[in-house]
Structure 1
Amino acid sequence: MERIKRVIEWLKDNDHSMAFIQDKTSIFYLTGFYCDPHERLVSLLLFPEAEPCLICPNMETSLVKEAGWTGEILGYSDIEDPWLLVRQAVEKRNAVLTSCIVEAPRLTYARVQALQDAFPAIKLIDGEPFLMELRKQKSAKELTTLKEAAALADYGVEVGVQAIQEGRSEIEILALIEYELKRKGVRDMSFGTLVLSGDQSANPHGNPGQRTIKKGDFVLFDLGVVLDGYCSDITRTVAFHHVTDQQQDIYETVRKAQQAALDACRPGVEIRTLDQIARTIITEAGYGDYFPHRIGHGLGMEVHELPSLNETNTDRLQKGMVFTIEPGIYLPSIGGVRIEDDVVITEDGYQTLTNYPKNLQIIT
């Protein structure tokens, strides 16, 4: 309930009447209850001067209790209107609604209309920045889970590298990775696993397919797992059988850029500095036009969250922040290299959570 208390204090400090939280990740962060409700409404209602309540389908009420929620639960069946329960909860608390906090980027237009129909005089205010700010610095418990998730990502890359064979397809290797992770107890991946080879590795977010591994290919792995609600995200690139001088130069440039960005990670450093350091190294090596994305992104309950590690972000690193550092170079017809680690800011520096080796491996 400590996280909920912080939101309620924020409501009080800013004279907001209610918070309408309906994103599944936000609800999990605040209550410990996670489900994917599909089109059904699951909502946490928070008030500055009244008890909170959670609205969910009847089929989820037992799981809400198992998660440790001790507040009011309002359940509904598939033939009932959950918005009636929202109105009833407000009326029961004699709340006078003038403003309501919502998660604007995650709220559908249909739900905006439903809220405005239920409370015509209400003003909707985006509370997403505040909620995301709460999640930026991880607790010791969160860091333990993130480290375990990162170790599983390391294992996934290990399985993928060991599965490389001439004539074996990207999708076959991908299936082997996910099969072995399932055997470790992983239920969900953080995102669609990438195994990209040859010229396909030059597409940062390409689609694994039936292309088979050939001698001289780069093979790029990008994967992560979800463990107890927290994500990991790792990228490693290896070569099969042999590399050209240009391929080796590309790889070493990315490795050097990543290490330089990592070396700058410590509390108080402007976030844009990390991107600028890596981008300068890649640009001076002649590959600046082939590094098309930011240096990294925040990591936690979602695989992409705050902070955004781009070259214009002037926010400063803080102890407990977790994010990725992932420079890349992608040359059409030749292939791409990306090296990505999960990183936590410590008292006076950083620690990488992912630890699979980063020296250029040539698989034979």
Structure 2
Amino acid sequence: MTLRRLHSLQQWLKEKDVAYAFIQGKANLFYLTGFRCEPHERLVSLLVFQDNEPCLIAPNMETSLICQSGWNYPIIGYSDSEDPWRLISTHLSSLEIVGSNLAVEKELLSVARAEQIKALSPELALLNCEDTIMKLRLIKNDKEIAILKEAAKLADFGVEVGVHALNTGRTEMEILAMIEYELKRKGIREMSFGTLVLSGEQSANPHGKPKMKSIEKGELVLFDLGVVLEGYCSDITRTVAFGNISTEQEKIYETVLTAQEATLSLCRKGTVLGDLDRKARSIITDAGYGAYFPHRIGHGLGVEVHELPSLNENNQDQLQVGMTFTIEPGIYVPKVGGVRIEDDVLITEDGYECLTHYPKELLVVKP
């Protein structure tokens, strides 16, 4: 799988007269090599050439894990006392390289790292390759889809744990800890992002911070979580009622659910992505809550929890078979509470498939 991806990138290098690509982004490294790690301050990077073998540069402590990941090309390992840039320069000088550009992920580069890369080949102009790699990542194959489905099942499980943990006096952070504990018991080492358990007025902040706040009767409780499974992410949001809620809170919930279901009905190949956002936004606006829907309808999902496609109202691209993304309308009213309902979606030949399945009808949990 990684071989085909590398060949696609090499073809692009030839088309754009690129001498080599210098890849350092964690997600792109995983996508192109099968190796996933957290490099911290150390350099871990991939060099891809038009015709020469690609090679990975990494600390010696990572080389055995790289081999275990299935990487069969050269590895330039280095110790903490060595200068990896000197080793890279030596490697480059041993190769016959053609091209007038050097491809990098411009949005991921610090100024310091960009200067170090530029010093390797001062005569080459820097060209951005991030869009090209993101387009490769856009359409998922059968193996990727199978992993994403399993990751979505674990996200469903996480919400189930959270709902069952709701109890008078229990805090947001306690429930969050219970969710992540049970997922770790199933082998999950990493969450897609910081798990959210937000209750009451807290739920009116789309990306609020869970606190040592007790869950109280009559509150909406929002769960937003996802896992990383074999390098791929899931992302689900569900909102439930803890005890009886107000008429307005119930109206907000039903409006969000209507908007989500109407948007899902448009999910099929050929649909303009911007139409998805406009559909949900029109329903929420007509209900009087347009000012309280502050984000796009969704985002791409894969080796990163946010990647292409961006489901904003200005995106004129069309849905394609194999795309995976979220649909997540929300309404957040200060001092009243917030509701978001989010599913992971796959575009199929026949329409769409929801990968997340936790029930969406308003659930009232008895205190």
Q: Secondary structure at the match of 1:17?
A: strand
Aligned to 1:308: 310
Instruction: Give the Cα separation in 2 of the matches to 1:192 and 1:55.
Output: 30
- Per-residue Cα deviation, 1:185-236 (whole angstroms, up to 9, x for no partner): 1111100000000011000000000111111100000000000000000000
Is this contact kept in 2: 1:97–1:119, CA < 8 A?
Answer: no
Does residue 1:340 correspond to 2:360, yes or no?
no
Name the amino acid aligned to 1:345. I
Instruction: Give the Cα separation in 2 of the matches to 1:159 and 1:33.
Output: 31
Shift in Å at residue 169 of structure 1?
0.7
Aligned to 2:39: 37
Is this contact kept in 1: 2:277–2:311, CA < 8 A?
Answer: yes
- Per-residue Cα deviation, 1:219-268 (whole angstroms, up to 9, x for no partner): 00000000000000000000011011111110000000000000000001
Q: Secondary structure at the match of 2:61?
A: helix
Is this contact kept in 2: 1:53–1:89, CA < 8 A?
Answer: no
Instruction: Give the Cα separation in 2 of the matches to 1:97 and 1:60.
Output: 31
Unaligned runs of 5+ in 2: none
- Per-residue Cα deviation, 1:40-70 (whole angstroms, up to 9, x for no partner): 1111111112121111111111111111111
- Per-residue Cα deviation, 1:113-156 (whole angstroms, up to 9, x for no partner): 11222222121111000000000110100000000000000000
Does residue 1:59 correspond to 2:61, yes or no?
yes
Aligned to 2:160: 158
Name the amino acid aligned to 1:223. L
Aligned to 1:357: 359
Q: Secondary structure at the match of 1:149?
A: helix
Name the amino acid aligned to 1:325. I
Residue 225 of structure 1 is aligned with which of 201, 224, 227? Answer: 227
Instruction: Give the Cα separation in 2 of the matches to 1:94 and 1:84.
Output: 18
**Bigger shift: residues 66-75 or 155-164:** 66-75
Instruction: Give the Cα separation in 2 of the matches to 1:268 and 1:91.
Output: 48
Q: Which structure 1 residue ranges, 4+ long, deviate > 3 Å from structure 2? A: none
Instruction: Give the Cα separation in 1 of the matches to 2:162 and 2:347.
Output: 29
- Per-residue Cα deviation, 1:341-362 (whole angstroms, up to 9, x for no partner): 0000000200000000000000
Does residue 1:136 correspond to 2:125, yes or no?
no
Aligned to 2:103: 101
Q: Secondary structure at the match of 2:18?
A: coil
**Bigger shift: residues 36-45 or 294-303:** 36-45
* TM-score between both structures, scaled by the size of structure 2: 0.98
Name the amino acid aligned to 1:246. E
Instruction: Give the Cα separation in 2 of the matches to 1:240 and 1:222.
Output: 16
Q: Secondary structure at the match of 2:360?
A: coil
Unaligned runs of 5+ in 1: none
Instruction: Give the Cα separation in 1 of the matches to 2:90 and 2:45.
Output: 14
